[in-house]
Amino acid sequence: DQQVKQNSPSLSVQEGRISILNCDYTNSMFDYFLWYKKYPAEGPTFLISISSIKDKNEDGRFTVFLNKSAKHLSLHIVPSQPGDSAVYVCAASALGSNYQLIWGAGTKLIIKP
Partner 1 sequence: ETGVTQTPRHLVMGMTNKKSLKCEQHLGHNAMYWYKQSAKKPLELMFVYSLEERVENNSVPSRFSPECPNSSHLFLHLHTLQPEDSALYLCASSQDSGLPGTEAFFGQGTRLTVV
Q: Residue 79, preceding bond cis, omega within 30 degrees? A: yes
- Contact stretch for partner 1 (CB under 8 A) within 21-29, 35-43, 55-63, 64-72: 35-43
95 is a site residue for partner 1 (CB under 8 A): yes
* Interatomic CA distance for residues 51 and 49, integer angstroms: 7
Of the candidates 104, 108, 106, 87, the residue with the CA atom closest to the CA atom of residue 30: 104
Q: Going along the chain, which residue ranges are E strands?
A: 4-5, 10-14, 19-25, 30-38, 45-51, 56-59, 62-67, 72-77, 86-94, 102-103, 107-112
59 is a site residue for partner 1 (CB under 8 A): no
Q: Please identify which residue in 73, 86, 89, 109 interacts with partner 1, judged by CB under 8 A.
A: 89
Nearer to partner 1, 20 or 94 (CB): 94
- Contact stretch for partner 1 (CB under 8 A) within 14-22, 29-37, 62-70, 73-81: 29-37
For the CB of residue 99, give the shortest distance to partner 1 in the complex, in Å.
Answer: 5
Residues across the chain:
113
For the CB of residue 96, give the shortest distance to partner 1 in the complex, in Å.
Answer: 8
Sites of contact with partner 1 (CB under 8 A): 2, 4, 31-32, 34, 41-46, 49, 51, 89, 91, 93, 95, 98-106
